[in-house]
Amino acid sequence: MTPNKLHFIVIDDSKLDCFIAEKIIRNTGRSETIKSFLHASEALDYIRNAPLATDGLKTILLVDIQMPVMNGFEFVESFDRLPKEKREDYIIYVLSSSINENDLNRVRYHTSVRQFLNKPLTSNTLSAMLDMVH
Amino acid sequence: MSKSDKIKILYIDDEVNNLVGFKASFRMEYTVFVAPDTIQAFDVLEKNPDIRVILSDQRMPNQTGVQFFEQVRTLHPNPMRVLITGYADIEAVIESINVGHIFRYIRKPWQEVDIISAIEEANKFYVTNTMLSVKNEELQKAYDELDKFAYSVTHDMRGPLLSILGAVDLSKNIDDINEIREMLGMMEKSVLKLDNFIRSVHEYYNLKRGDLHIVNIDFNSIVTDLTDMYDITRKMANIRFVTNVSQKEAFRCDEMYLRIILNNLLSNAFKYNRKDISDKFVELNIETGNGSSVITVKDNGIGIHESHIGEIFKMFYRATNEETGSGFGLYNVKDALTKLNGEIIVDSKPEEGTTFKVIIPSK
């Protein structure tokens, strides 16, 4: 059985990192759609206004931590305030170059964050991660 | 010694004659405040936080000197405390040391030399203590910045590096030369970002550690340099650069600091331009007169949102995603201005532009 397709949203203030993530995601063959946002607030608006999923497909959110204006934590906190049925369409992964203990602990504290991933994103990490998503 | 340089002291005694005598004896050497009771003494301390030495009589109707000092210690911890008493029993001495934490104990009737020696010694202590607390504050600030710094280094230095690493890894499996070129372009930006960050760190270090080297400033030659420096940036982004220098008198300042300020303000003005308008400009006005220079950097760029203006001078703060900011530039500007006793005023509207006005006194 071929694994389910997924929607992807990448949130990162670095254009290059968005580009890399998109490429790697496309290579997995699991992507139904991929969207990138350089501003977390725009991604949040997009998610807020999107209709509930009717195709039964989950959306994977890859969120960077350190971004100007609205950082990854602020994004997750705002996301947590969205209606439950909306949130159930999404799975959040935090992606960062941070090696700061506080950041890592803060990620663990957020129950809505599935996992913390180190940058740079590689095909191996992404494949391993997606194997756990059905 | 001018009046303001005199050491400020406060003497408390319930016998008004003593107060008058004390003031008469020491008003030449010191700025003397007196109070007939401890309530008025607190009032004086409230109004004169720079009083360095408090001398108090022990026996007073509503409160003893020791009780008063015990209270003073928590409310005004800085001044040194000297107790004056005619009844020198050992219990009172022990209590005054243990409870009142006094610096000296003087017996009544006092000798002028004893009082002067007590004040002079107390003042030495006071000065050392205050210097120590100032140094401690500086040290704490330095530690806080170091923390922020260490945190930011992982992001601002690792970030671009990891982006490049990811791109290198990815490009191993890409055959399309155009795609590779596109990625190289983005990798170049990451390298420039990292380089920009390292330069700012260098500036930061220079500002923190450097002493001022005051020289005569020739604004015309600085502006000529800046015009050359930004010529390529200006042409590539199609921005008019208008400069105006009016230097009517000599201006003395640290040239490196001045250049750091000008450079950061100008590079921001050029960087955060509006891509969607045709007549883009950056205006630099420098006017020197009446012992100071007023520098204005004005642009019609993207502007700064009201809610971010209060934050822009903070270290590593970035109000926008546009362009490759390090979050260091304006912090360095503010730091340089603090050392030059200058000030900066921001006026900005989103989508209309930003004006930074800097005022620096001549040294």
Please tell me which residue of chain A has the smallest CA distance to B149: A100
User: Mean of the pLDDT values across residues B273-290?
Assistant: 93
d(CA A32, CA A28): 11
User: Mean of the pLDDT values across residues B275-279?
Assistant: 89
- Stretch among B244-248, B288-292, B330-334 having the lowest mean pLDDT: B330-334
B19, pLDDT greater than 90: yes
Q: Which residues of A touch B167 (CB under 8 A)?
A: 16, 19-20
A69:B327 CB<8 A: no
Q: What is the pLDDT of residue B1?
A: 44
3-state secondary structure of B57: strand
User: Mean of the pLDDT values across residues A42-51?
Assistant: 94
d(CA A122, CA B167): 10
- Our CA angle for B41, B44, B50, nearest 5°, is 120
B315, pLDDT greater than 80: no
The partner residue sitting opposite B319, judged by closest CB among A27, A68, A99, is A68
Helix axes B65-75, B90-98, angle to 10 degrees: 10
pLDDT digits (tens, 9 = 90+) for B236-252: 889 999 999 999 999 99
d(CA A112, CA A90): 9
Q: Does B306 touch chain A (CB under 8 A)?
A: no
Q: What is the pLDDT of residue B127?
A: 93
Has the ipTM of the complex gone over 0.95?
A: no
Residues of chain B within CATH 1.10.287 domain(s) are 138-210
Q: What is the pLDDT of residue A2?
A: 65
The partner residue sitting opposite B167, judged by closest CB among A20, A66, A97, is A20
Q: Which residue, among A53, A61, A52, has the nearest Cα to A9 in the 3D structure?
A: A61
Which stretch of DSSP H or E encloses residue A102? helix A101-109
Q: Which residues of A touch B155 (CB under 8 A)?
A: 66, 96-98
B25, pLDDT greater than 50: yes
When scoring B146, B153, B163 by the number of chain A Cβ atoms within 10 A, the one with the most, hence best to mutate, is B163
B154:A97 CB<8 A: yes
- Stretch among A120-124, B17-21, B149-153, B276-280 having the lowest mean pLDDT: B149-153
A115, pLDDT greater than 70: yes
User: Mean of the pLDDT values across residues B290-316?
Assistant: 89
Q: Does B307 touch chain A (CB under 8 A)?
A: no
- Burial (CB < 10 A; 0-12, 13-18, 19+), residue B4, is exposed
* Average pLDDT of the residues of chain B: 89
pLDDT category of residue B345 using cuts at 50, 70 and 90: very high
Q: What is the pLDDT of residue B3?
A: 47
* Highest-pLDDT range among B84-93, B114-123, B176-185, B201-210: B114-123
Quick check: bond before B109 cis, omega within 30?
Answer: yes
Residues of chain B within CATH 3.30.565.10 domain(s) are 212-363
pLDDT digits (tens, 9 = 90+) for B130-156: 899 889 988 898 888 788 777 777 667
User: Mean of the pLDDT values across residues A78-95?
Assistant: 93
B198, pLDDT greater than 80: yes
Written in H, E and C, the secondary structure of A21-39 is HHHHHHHHCCEEEEEEECC
d(CA B244, CA B240): 13
pLDDT category of residue B88 using cuts at 50, 70 and 90: low
Q: How far is CA B315 from the centre of its chain?
A: 13
Length of chain A measured in residues: 134
Please tell me which residue of chain A has the smallest CA distance to B305: A69
Contact in structure between A52 and A85 (CB atoms under 8 Å): yes
Which stretch of DSSP H or E encloses residue B249? none
A120:B158 CB<8 A: no
Q: Does A12 touch chain B (CB under 8 A)?
A: no
Q: Which residue, among A8, A37, A36, A22, has the nearest Cα to A123 in the 3D structure?
A: A22
User: Mean of the pLDDT values across residues B325-351?
Assistant: 88
A119:B159 CB<8 A: yes
B155:A16 CB<8 A: no
Helix axes B177-209, B255-271, angle to 10 degrees: 150
User: CATH 3.40.50.300: does it fit domain B212-363?
Assistant: no
Order of all β-strands in the sheet with A90-96: A31-37, A6-11, A59-64, A90-96, A113-118
B165:A120 CB<8 A: yes
Between these two residues, B232 and B224, which has the higher pLDDT value? B224
d(CA B358, CA B356): 6
Q: Which residue has the tokens 């420098």?
A: B286
Q: What is the pLDDT of residue A107?
A: 80
Q: What is the pLDDT of residue B4?
A: 58
A119:B162 CB<8 A: yes
Q: Where are the alpha helices (DSSP H) in chain B?
A: 16-26, 38-47, 65-75, 90-98, 112-152, 158-171, 177-209, 219-229, 231-237, 255-271, 306-309, 329-339
pLDDT digits (tens, 9 = 90+) for A54-71: 888 999 999 998 888 898
User: Mean of the pLDDT values across residues B46-57?
Assistant: 95
Residues of chain B within CATH 3.40.50.2300 domain(s) are 3-110
Distance from CA of A73 to the nearest CA of B (A): 15
If one looks up domain B138-210 in CATH, what number appears? 1.10.287
Q: Which residue, among A126, A131, A110, A111, has the nearest Cα to A22 in the 3D structure?
A: A126
Homologous superfamily of domain range B3-110 = Response regulator (3.40.50.2300)
Q: Does B191 touch chain A (CB under 8 A)?
A: no
A99:B183 CB<8 A: no
Domains of chain A: 6-131 (3.40.50.2300)
